[in-house]
Structure 1
Amino acid sequence: MKTSFGKSSITALLCAGTALTSLAALPALAQQAPAQETASESMLGEIVVTARRRAESLQDVPVSISAFTAEMLENAGTPDITALTKTTPNLTMQVARGSNSTLIAFIRGVGQQDPLWGFEPGVGLYVDDVYVARPQGAVLDIFDIERIEVLRGPQGTLYGRNTIGGAVKYVTKKIDDEPHMKAKVQVGSYKQTDLILSGSSPVTETLGVSGAVALYRRDGYGDNLTTGQEHYDKDVSAGRLSVEFTPNEDVFIRVAADKTVDDSNPRHGYRLFATPTVPVLDSVYDTRAGLTGKQKVKNQGASLTAEFNVNDALMVKSITAYRDGRSDTVIDFDNLPAKILDIPAYYEDDQLSQELQLVYEGDRLKGVAGLYYMDAHAEGAFDTILGLANLTTLTSGSVDTKSYAAFADFTYELTDQVKASVGARYTSDKKEGTVYRVNYAGLTSPLFGGAARNPTLIRSNYTNERTFDEFTPRFSLTYEATSDLTLYASYGRGFKSGGFDMRGDVISTPDTRNGYEPELVDTYEVGSKSRFWDGRATLNLAAFYSDYKGQQVTTQVPSGTTVVSFVDNVGSSTIKGLEAEGLLALTDELTANFAIGYIDAEFKKFLRYNLTSRAYENIANTAVFQNTPKWTANFGLTYVHDMGTAGTVTLTGSAAHRSAFSLFEFRNALLDQGAYTLYDLSAIWTAESNNWSVGLHGKNLGNKKYRVGGYNFPGALFGDSIIGFYGPPRTVTATVEYRF
């Protein structure tokens, strides 16, 4: 049964927001707080975000945004950014199938599951305003941060291409005026042993230095029964270093560098399909995969941020950044000892970007305008080894991208209560794609260590260029009904660049050499942001409608003695949804929080290329949105008890629910994930001096087994490979932290 959602729902949302003004007159839930800030007031305090490229209060921004401070994340024992899936409505962030640190992200049904080189993400990731173009190594561990912001809906004006679903901003700490250091040790389940060191110090009155080092080690949740390796283990080392120079109150310069190395073992899948000779394993974290080889992910980057206050109203900001990365990996698709469907691969990328901003803060006019440039290169190669056919298909290639953009976004106060915002961005992407795909007799191509020999068949060998231009406007109207209630309505367009399928097979799909077109999303949204009960509660509501055109969908299907991939702009769809987030101070010590998301997504047109008829067919009636549960919900309680000279105890508990969803655009009873709920509980003791803290964090206490990815390659030639990848089981982590 379809759920209706239209003008009546939007009207109801606005009425609900307006009704909040009357709630302020209701009796307070507890006695008025004393002058000293209580624990609940601390949680309900103002959070400053930069969603519109300038500092604003979270409650004043007419954007659907979730913001998490370092304290919130630490109290919950949040390990990495994928945990935001539990607490943010209509968000999916997971470790990509067959990887340890590659990120897939979806917001409001829009994203990208395929992390192959040259493919663009649908959710933009930013580290200190530097765009991270590739998903490899993007599962960022949380340490030494100030906050994380999740912006929902297209951010095409201020953040540009590939923020069609939204954007995630990872903001690290700036250097304090006083020197400080922090050492944190974490030990837990599966022999987890982590060490995190961070600190900053002024060197002179105008110069400061900060740095952080994090080492994460953990045995696997399971075993590779063929090789004897730990499976789902973790071996990650990361570091950051920054220098800040402030010669006077009008100039700020920051140079920062970071590096992450992931040496975790290969992550293979769990066979969901039993055969007469191969039963299903007892543990979903075990595997029988036999493919071995180099497994390493390295990412590093450096940036220069400079800010200059021209006068009290105008600031010039420059962000120059360079990043590069290399991933060597092996994925055993059949998950059996024999070479039935094995994939050794490497990915490599680099990017140079420059952004120039003019930030204006006048009496009634505020906003930002700027220019952006990026020069990026992505390349890679992999073998598709079909042992039963004694055949290997080598796929290799590269994509070079030059992206140019100009943007502006300004807000004008029409009256003391009414503000209008107008923004626009023009983007031009020039791409050159090279694809080389050939068959070799025997197992393993010369590129991956096989004997030197000529290919038996050239399937693709071409280079092509495309330019993709797009204009992405944004409009919003904000009405401050009271000092505690803001209503807004907005429209925004998102643009995800087109490109070339790096697996393109000219023999099977001749049109692949022409590339695929961009995606476009037009989103209409109304919402409210409110405080009531004397500031002891907040409630943020949003309703949205998106018109989605040209979705880029990757399909990999068995075809003869090979696996054929094609990327189609499948057609159009509509996405309707609701979101609600709230905080409530039940007492001075006890605070409740919740987040609820609802999505109704439906394909209107879904064109699929038929390899037999060589024609496109509309199969929208059988297609569904992937990684998009209809309902997401989170409820949490935080209790903070001040024991005086004995310190402070903080208890944080939460339940996160996701309704059933499909891992791909077509339902599969074996692969699709049913509804599930995850329960977490954390306890932290902090000394009165605030120097010491000791914590205990339990995750997935119900030990729920849930899939976050999978592959589907049925048929004897491919080993009847239907495999799943899973989120972490129940874990318990103890932490000790010393600050000095």
Structure 2
Amino acid sequence: MTREIKMTNLGKTALALAIAASCSASITYAQGVEGKVLSLEEVLVTAEKREESLQETPISILAFSAEKLARFGVTDLGDISGLAPNVEITPFPISRSSLIVFMRGVGNNDSQSTQDPAVGVYIDGIYMARSIGLTSDVADLERIEVLRGPQGTLYGRNTTGGAINLITAKPSDEAGISQTVSRGNRGYWKSLTKLESGKIGDVAAKLTFMRSAHDGWVKNAGPGRNFGEEDKTAGRFALRWDVNDAVSVDYAYDFSEIDGPQHFYQPISGTSPNPAVPANSSRNGSGQWFGGVEPSETEISGHSLIISAETSLGVLKSITAYRELNEVTVQDYDAGTPGFRVNVDVDQEQISQEFQLVGDYGSDINYVAGLYYFRETGNEMESDTYGGFPLENRQIISESEAQAIYGQITWSPESLDHRLDLTLGGRYTADDRSADKSSITFVGGPQSASESWSHFNPSITLDYAWTDSVSTYGKIVSAYKSGGFNVRSTEAGFQPPFDEENIMSYELGLKSTWLDRRISFNAAAFHAEYKDMQLQQITNNATIFLTDVFNVGEAEIDGFEFDLMAVLVEGLTLQASYGYTDADFVEYIDQRPSQPTFGQDVSDGAVMPYAPEQSFTVGLDYEKSLSIGVLQASVDYSWRDERYGTAFNDDLGGFFLDDNGIVNARLALSEIDLGGVNLEVAAWGRNLDSEEYRVHSISLGTYRSAYFGEPKSYGIDLTLRF
């Protein structure tokens, strides 16, 4: 009965959004300002390892073009938070460079070197194993693709929630220089330089360099820099060599650095440890740490080599990559008293090699096949203190290795005019992981362990084009996330390791365009069965800094999402996206020996973390040619329902995040001709109504603390293109 009531309310909300969408507006991919201004541009994606139209790809997918990324000021993955319904992206409390990513209620709310995320993040097809550094700037993004739902066949392990592709801009055949400078409130500035060599013989190169900084939004009342203040540097060098008509080689090197203190956790309820800083449910403008603020630093870099060759069997591609990261962070949760403080130092290296074959057999069959190898090593050290007294001092040295073989074949019979696509896929993965852990809480001394997992994930998709502009699809997809060892474990909880977790997803989808490509409407409804969930529990409330991970959970997740784009009148375009998730535990076994519910199913008292019931974004974009250039104006609004940051705890209120809505806007005049130099001037504002919202909250017994999101920010961008 409860679910029926929810769905009834949801239907009202969806109807209201649809009505609003038909008479409101937002940004879309409209063609030019002159000519075909009343039709949507075809959006190309590579979600299925080959370039194809978004409208012909049977995946619930959102694609953010370079133009749209610039409009939203997106330079890293964290910047798209709020732009994709049914997707939750928030920083990890110990490290603002680490992101907690959930899709459709599936994710991992921890960041560890021995526990994998549930949403895979890829840069140019290269898997990013750790969530550390995901807020690092990517100096030159061409497109971001958000693939909602399990992607076990083509993307492999650790995509039980979905996958995100960050695609960088490749070197151009034309030489050019671009320089952007930005200024804003709270001392914000940014410089972005792009240098294009153009094609010289068979080779083209591109160099991109970015620097930015801001002062943070919580003033430090003690010694040191302001909270959240940061300096960011990012660079990328890309080289493309067209060996001949059939072979091309792409090499890239990128790096990113983040320097500055962590965000400020302020008391929000309960007994504050510092009477001078009383509990406050609103955002504090200032605060301090006992003993002064300490900085945090993140450094990430990587090399990639991609070789593509056209053969008689199709396009054969080799993707080779090496990446490394180092991060040193300091976080304090007790607002000016000698309280709970965490120091973490993480080093990680990874190498990967993938071979892909993408081809066609006749006119009825196309296929993707691949081999994949991945290896990483990590060294993670953490010290936890309270009032300067050591609670924990640990080190984890880890290694993991994964190998996979995968394939997907699509049959599109000519007898049905290629309107039917039947796709079968499968992936076999073998994982090995080992870890050595030493800790002052381990009275028995250091521990060492290793374990192996393997799994086969099949998939089937049926896609039918009823007309040239309307198609529907149904799919059954499975995915799995490998097991591991818990960095923050008690001595008894380090072994045995937690096991793999699995998900089976059933999805029905619609892809459609209307009125001669003036409107596009895509929708998907899904049901997922989530088993052997890896869940953390504090087994002893006296040692809340120690958690153990158990395969104790099962859940069912139902929901749907739709994405609407429309050209309303000449120059005025619309996008409205909506997501609904009904995620419920069906089993959660209590693993706390000291509790009377030990060994019992406590799913009635548990909530799926980071799974807001409703989320949406809607906006307007206007574009018009003037005598001096092109005028662009846009406004958008995004909304998230309330959600929790953890699944089960005696004090759920300490991890509660309230609903919030954010308003952004931008006004730009572009294509201003200054005698061979192109000028663009843009004014922008984010969170224009200064919405006060918690990004993360934590419960330390009767004391609860949280840090708040950025208040209103605004600035100006100037871009010169030569």
TM-score over 0.5 for the alignment? yes
* Equivalent-residue separation in structure 1 for 2:201 and 2:660 (angstroms): 53
Q: Which residue of 2 aligns with 1:470?
A: 455
CA contact (8 A) 1:39 1:640 kept: no
Equivalence map 1:551-570=2 (5 Å): 551-556=533-538, 559-560=541-542, 563-570=545-552
Call closer, same or farther: CA 1:131–1:731 in 2, change over 3 Å.
same
Which whole-Å deviations, capped at 9, do the CAs of 1:247-277 have from their partners, x for residues lacking one? 2110010110101111122334122135373
Equivalence map 1:85-124=2 (5 Å): 85-124=81-120
> Secondary structure in 2 aligned to 1:513?
coil
Of the structure 1 ranges 653-662 and 279-288, higher mean CA displacement relative to structure 2 is found in: 279-288
Letter aligned with residue 425 of structure 2:
G
* Equivalent-residue separation in structure 1 for 2:605 and 2:445 (angstroms): 31
* Equivalent-residue separation in structure 2 for 1:596 and 1:196 (angstroms): 33
Scaled by the length of structure 2, the TM-score of the pair is: 0.91
Q: Which residue of 1 aligns with 2:35?
A: 37
> Secondary structure in 1 aligned to 2:79?
helix
Call closer, same or farther: CA 1:287–1:521 in 2, change over 3 Å.
farther
Q: Which residue of 1 aligns with 2:671?
A: 687
Q: Which residue of 2 aligns with 1:265?
A: 261
CA contact (8 A) 1:118 1:398 kept: no
User: How many Å apart are 1:87 and its aligned residue?
Assistant: 2.0
CA contact (8 A) 1:272 1:670 kept: no
> Secondary structure in 2 aligned to 1:337?
coil
* Equivalent-residue separation in structure 2 for 1:5 and 1:542 (angstroms): 21
Letter aligned with residue 320 of structure 2:
T
Which whole-Å deviations, capped at 9, do the CAs of 1:179-212 have from their partners, x for residues lacking one? 1221111110101010001122235221111111
CA contact (8 A) 1:294 1:329 kept: yes
Of the structure 1 ranges 524-533 and 560-569, higher mean CA displacement relative to structure 2 is found in: 560-569
CA contact (8 A) 1:40 1:590 kept: no
> Secondary structure in 2 aligned to 1:54?
coil
User: How many Å apart are 1:117 and its aligned residue?
Assistant: 1.9
Of the structure 1 ranges 94-103 and 400-409, higher mean CA displacement relative to structure 2 is found in: 94-103
Call closer, same or farther: CA 1:9–1:233 in 2, change over 3 Å.
closer
Letter aligned with residue 437 of structure 2:
V
Q: Which residue of 1 aligns with 2:382?
A: 382
Q: Give the share of equivalent positions with the same residue, in percent.
A: 27
* Equivalent-residue separation in structure 1 for 2:146 and 2:172 (angstroms): 25
User: How many Å apart are 1:591 and its aligned residue?
Assistant: 0.5
CA contact (8 A) 1:241 1:257 kept: yes
Match of 2:592 among 610, 625, 630: 610
Call closer, same or farther: CA 1:687–1:343 in 2, change over 3 Å.
same
Call closer, same or farther: CA 1:140–1:3 in 2, change over 3 Å.
farther
Q: Which residue of 1 aligns with 2:233?
A: 237
Q: Which residue of 1 aligns with 2:318?
A: 318
Q: Which residue of 2 aligns with 1:184?
A: 180
User: How many Å apart are 1:670 and its aligned residue?
Assistant: 4.7
* Equivalent-residue separation in structure 2 for 1:286 and 1:502 (angstroms): 33
Q: Which residue of 1 aligns with 2:80?
A: 84
Q: Which residue of 1 aligns with 2:161?
A: 165
* Equivalent-residue separation in structure 1 for 2:420 and 2:182 (angstroms): 49
Call closer, same or farther: CA 1:262–1:8 in 2, change over 3 Å.
closer
User: How many Å apart are 1:713 and its aligned residue?
Assistant: 1.5
* Equivalent-residue separation in structure 2 for 1:211 and 1:370 (angstroms): 31
User: How many Å apart are 1:688 and its aligned residue?
Assistant: 4.5
Call closer, same or farther: CA 1:460–1:85 in 2, change over 3 Å.
farther
Of the structure 1 ranges 173-182 and 390-399, higher mean CA displacement relative to structure 2 is found in: 390-399
Call closer, same or farther: CA 1:595–1:561 in 2, change over 3 Å.
closer
Match of 2:192 among 196, 204, 207: 196
CA contact (8 A) 1:707 1:725 kept: yes
Q: Which residue of 2 aligns with 1:445?
A: none
User: How many Å apart are 1:710 and its aligned residue?
Assistant: 2.2
Letter aligned with residue 439 of structure 2:
R
* Equivalent-residue separation in structure 1 for 2:37 and 2:690 (angstroms): 31
User: How many Å apart are 1:564 and its aligned residue?
Assistant: 2.3
Q: Which residue of 1 aligns with 2:525?
A: 543
User: How many Å apart are 1:707 and its aligned residue?
Assistant: 1.4
- 2:254 is the counterpart of 1:255: no
Q: Which residue of 1 aligns with 2:716?
A: 734
CA contact (8 A) 1:406 1:426 kept: yes
* Equivalent-residue separation in structure 2 for 1:527 and 1:542 (angstroms): 4
> Secondary structure in 2 aligned to 1:272?
strand
User: How many Å apart are 1:35 and its aligned residue?
Assistant: 11
User: How many Å apart are 1:527 and its aligned residue?
Assistant: 0.6
Which whole-Å deviations, capped at 9, do the CAs of 1:472-511 have from their partners, x for residues lacking one? 11110000000000110001011111000112212xxx25
* Equivalent-residue separation in structure 2 for 1:557 and 1:190 (angstroms): 43
| Total equivalences in the alignment | 691
User: How many Å apart are 1:361 and its aligned residue?
Assistant: 2.8
Equivalence map 1:674-713=2 (5 Å): 674-689=658-673, 691-713=678-700
User: How many Å apart are 1:143 and its aligned residue?
Assistant: 4.2
* Equivalent-residue separation in structure 2 for 1:40 and 1:691 (angstroms): 26
Call closer, same or farther: CA 1:678–1:40 in 2, change over 3 Å.
farther
User: How many Å apart are 1:385 and its aligned residue?
Assistant: 1.1
CA contact (8 A) 1:182 1:199 kept: yes
Letter aligned with residue 569 of structure 1:
N
Which whole-Å deviations, capped at 9, do the CAs of 1:300-321 have from their partners, x for residues lacking one? 000100000013x511100000
User: How many Å apart are 1:279 and its aligned residue?
Assistant: 1.1
* Equivalent-residue separation in structure 1 for 2:70 and 2:32 (angstroms): 26
Give the CA RMSD over aligned residues. 2.5
Of the structure 1 ranges 275-284 and 570-579, higher mean CA displacement relative to structure 2 is found in: 275-284
CA contact (8 A) 1:524 1:545 kept: yes
Q: Which residue of 1 aligns with 2:470?
A: 485
Which whole-Å deviations, capped at 9, do the CAs of 1:351-394 have from their partners, x for residues lacking one? 00000011113422112101000110122111111338x44321
Letter aligned with residue 409 of structure 1:
Q
Of the structure 1 ranges 200-209 and 322-331, higher mean CA displacement relative to structure 2 is found in: 200-209
List alignment gaps of at least 5 residues for structure 2. 16-21, 23-29
Scaled by the length of structure 1, the TM-score of the pair is: 0.89
- 2:511 is the counterpart of 1:529: yes
Letter aligned with residue 421 of structure 2:
K
